[in-house]
Amino acid sequence: MRVLLLVLAVAVSFSTARAGQIPVVGSVLGGVPSTPYLSLPTRLEIAASVNVGGLRIVENSGICETTPGIYQASGYADLTSTKSLWFWYFAARNNPDTAPLALWFNGGPGSSSMIGLFQEHGPCRITNDSSSVVNNTWSWNNQANMLYIDQPVGVGFSYGNLTVSTSKQAAEDVWTFMQIFLKDSKFSNLQNRPLAIWTESYGGHYGPAFAAYFLSQNSAIDAGKASGIKLNLKVLGIGNGLTNPLVQYPGYITYAGTNPYHPLVNSSIIESAQMAWNQSGGCMDLINTCYNGGSASACSRAQSFCNARILAPLHGNWDVYYVPTAIPDPYPPDFTKYINSIAPTIGANVTWQLTNVYVYSNFAATGDWMSNSAPDLETVINAGVRTIIYDGDADYILNFYGVEAMVDNLTTTYSSSYRQQQFAPYTVDGQAAGLFKTAGQFSYIRFYGAGHEVPAYQYGTLQHGQAAVQMFTQFMMSNRALVSTVDVRLLMMSIIVLSLST
């Protein structure tokens, strides 16, 4: 039985940008609505078949993954009687019984992780006319068991009471989801596998928050202060992420005038943005107030001012997710009609939406956007979790100037060594596909020709997603960070040998 979304009157104009990651509020990209929705009845009627603490799934629907014999399952984990998170699981095409488990989360906040599935690195890709899907040769489930999760509650196909408004609260729900998922007999064999968190965009907040929370819960279980299944977290990957706004926001000013493609706006707009950053009570001061114990309203005010005066004006008429193209860029193609057409077949109970603006509004009200997730990221790296930060050089919305400044500003076991390294070419199939650095268990890579959704793009004669899957496979299948191309080839050979011997 499908359930209905209660329609609410919205006091502010919303629209979602083409890639669906960040809404436009009024006329401001990443703006702040005047009213949060936590106290309003923004919930869905709950399905009669709710299974609190358990899963409701459809197995082997035949949708998306068409490789013979490869298992898939889609459905819901019912966290409570009023909170249900949607997931879609795809077993690895190679050695699923021993392959690691990777979680994928898109950002927003409020955007569906089905974006990653259909537009980026899932077993199938939406066609350019948005009418159907085709097999993805460069799928991330070639070597890993992939689990795509729509979160927080209310995002994508997930539904229930919209009570999550911070990355920490989202982490708590994802932990609960994983406890339900891994205790189910169909997935309990994944409990001890190496676990990875991969995410992008607002995932610069999600990834560190989720990973740090997983580690803290593991420690609580060890100390007898909590019960549950420990999560064997080994890898964290963040693409084009918002992590430390104070360090990253000047990158918008730099990228608008100097990037690998063309200036985005004229010098007077850049000068105006620079003034908004530096002026007394301006963007820099507001973020500092937020960082130094500021209230939720102070952090929310920083988001409102900085995005209206810096983020929104500086992209001009160019697509914020792929600056070589003017607005609107039709790529990656929309898949809304397609995914809703298959919803009954895959077990979805509600109408899918790219971005839930109510969820976005609740996060904006708490000022979570302007929070600093770098301390959590440092905790995770220092705990020995293999970590990679990656981005595309054609992305404005979370551009490489800001991301690289964030990385350079980290204080970790590997930071001193990292800062001494020089960028080296990252080669895929004989072509330079980007630049990277590695120090210890930490790596950073900037991909040529890629926009915000890095695996959606291609460069030179490489195919869509080919460069990204090499990075992903290397990071998931070895016990070390990113290495040279020669070592990558040796790694691929060892994977093939391992596959033949099992």
pLDDT tens string 170-216: 999 999 999 999 999 999 999 999 999 999 999 999 999 999 999 99
Decide: 3 and 287 in contact? Cβ < 8 Å: no
Catalytic residue among 111, 139, 201, 443: 201
Catalytic residue among 395, 415, 443, 464: 395
- At residue 34, the pLDDT reads 78
Decide: 465 and 136 in contact? Cβ < 8 Å: yes
Q: What is the dihedral of CA 181, 183, 185, 187, to 10 degrees?
A: 40
Is the pLDDT at 115 greater than 90? The verdict is: yes
What one-letter code names the amino acid at 489?
Answer: R
Catalytic: 315?
no
Catalytic: 173?
no
Band of residue 502 on the pLDDT scale cut at 50, 70, 90: very low
Give 172-188 as a 3 state SS string: HHHHHHHHHHHHCCCCH
Query: pLDDT tens digit string along 369-411?
Result: 999 999 999 999 999 999 999 999 999 999 999 999 999 999 9
Count CA within 13 A, CB hemisphere, residue 348. 25
Domain boundaries, the chain: 24-499
Query: pLDDT tens digit string along 31-86?
Result: 998 766 554 434 444 455 789 999 999 999 999 999 999 999 999 999 999 999 99
Beta pairing partners, 250: none
**What pTM was estimated for this model as a whole?**
0.93
Band of residue 16 on the pLDDT scale cut at 50, 70, 90: very low
The mean per-residue pLDDT over the stretch 275-283 comes to 98
Decide: 115 and 20 in contact? Cβ < 8 Å: yes
The mean per-residue pLDDT over the stretch 313-320 comes to 97
Catalytic: 262?
no
Catalytic residue among 121, 315, 452, 464: 452
Is the pLDDT at 227 greater than 60? The verdict is: yes
Count CA within 13 A, CB hemisphere, residue 51. 12
At residue 341, φ and ψ (nearest 5 deg) are -70, -25
Cβ-based neighbours of 237, under 8 Å, separated by 6 or more: 196, 197, 198, 199, 207, 387, 388, 389, 390, 472, 475
The mean per-residue pLDDT over the stretch 451-463 comes to 97
Q: How far apart are CA 173 and CA 152, in angstroms?
A: 8
**At what angle are helices 203-222 and 167-183 packed, to 10 degrees?**
60
**For the domain bounded by 24-499, which CATH number is listed?**
3.40.50.1820
- At residue 13, the pLDDT reads 47
Is the pLDDT at 94 greater than 80? The verdict is: yes
**At what angle are helices 267-278 and 283-291 packed, to 10 degrees?**
40
